[in-house]
Amino acid sequence: MSVLVFTVIVLIGSYFAGFLGSLTGLGGGVVIIPLLTLVLNVDIHYAIGASLVSVIATSSGSAAAYVKEGITNMRLGMFLEIATTAGAMCGAILALHIPTQYIAVLFGIILIFSAIISLKRKAEHITLQKSFLAEKLKLNSSYPTANGTVEYSVTRVGGGFVMMLFAGIISGLLGIGSGALKVIAMDTIMRIPFKVSTTTSNFMIGVTASASAVVYLQRGYISPGLSMPVVIGVLLGALTGSRILVNTPSSRWLRWVFAVVVTFLAGQMIYHGVTGKI
């Protein structure tokens, strides 16, 4: 097929990926990579490179809005970025040496895991437990709500740091944002209020992806012709999605639909990886 037709198909596909990704919080990367590798037969390295670039775009675009609202915990984000960028660098380098079949299978597993996490009910909790590390690192903070400022503390900093390391490796290895893993680290392990963990996670995803993107860029894994429609499509789709998100309160059934789609794609990735077709 010609470049023009290919570009248009990728553009449309990316738009839907970005749209669904922003509505469900799973990100566009999880749909883009299976779409490119399974449907359009793109080599997974190119696909991961393009996905990483789109992740940077959506993260930066949305973080720009959230950080101004004062909910993002900048110091927490900065501190955890040590872990995520170090992980991302390792993940990107690992990706150069691991056979693509394993990447495909791992991708499928992480995808299923993320889908399950997105369906779990999030328990809202505020902890005021004092933690030595959190105090030293000035991580405890507050965030504005409709009812005034809410204070919160951060616990188990070490555990969160290790989880972020893992999230960074996964991001660099698979080209996704790893938002699900980051939210687990902050929400479940460090007991941070949900709104703070999602906005801070968003804040961090961009830098994490940049840390691995520079490796991919230098190795020639980022193809301009492919990345261009992916990044534009995903960004436009995500923008549309976030507009709609503001107006529609309940997205529960949508998460189920997306989780089913993602699980199907994950199964395909694993199957193709195992049978060596990727």
Q: Is the dihedral of CA 268, 223, 60, 230 positive or negative?
A: negative
**Cβ atoms 263, 115 nearer than 8 A:** yes
Q: Is 60 in the site for another protein (CB under 8 A)?
A: yes
Q: Is 228 in the site for another protein (CB under 8 A)?
A: yes
Span from 4-12, 154-162, 243-251, 252-260 in contact with another protein (CB under 8 A):
4-12
Residue 61, burial from CB neighbour count under 10 angstroms (0-12, 13-18, 19+): middle
Question: Among residues 31, 170, 215, 278, which is the contact residue for another protein, using CB under 8 A?
Answer: 215
Q: Is 226 in the site for another protein (CB under 8 A)?
A: yes
Question: Among residues 17, 23, 32, 63, which is the contact residue for another protein, using CB under 8 A?
Answer: 63
Q: Is 86 in the site for another protein (CB under 8 A)?
A: yes
Q: How many whole angstroms separate alpha carbon 73 and alpha carbon 29? A: 25
**141 Cβ neighbours under 8 A, 6+ residues apart:** 73, 75, 76, 151, 152, 196
Amino acid letter, residue 181: L
Span from 37-45, 101-109, 148-156, 183-191 in contact with another protein (CB under 8 A):
37-45
Cα 255 versus chain centre, distance = 16
Structure tokens at 50: 């393009």
Q: Is 109 in the site for another protein (CB under 8 A)?
A: no
> Using CB under 8 A, which residues numbered 143 to 202 contact another protein?
none
Q: How many whole angstroms separate alpha carbon 101 and alpha carbon 45? A: 11
> Using CB under 8 A, which residues numbered 40 to 59 contact another protein?
40-43, 45-46, 53, 56-57, 59
**Cβ atoms 167, 161 nearer than 8 A:** no
Footprint of another protein on this chain (CB under 8 A)? 1-4, 6-7, 40-43, 45-46, 53, 56-57, 59-61, 63-65, 67-68, 70, 72, 74-75, 78-79, 81-82, 85-86, 88-89, 92-93, 137-138, 206-207, 209-220, 222-229, 231-232, 235
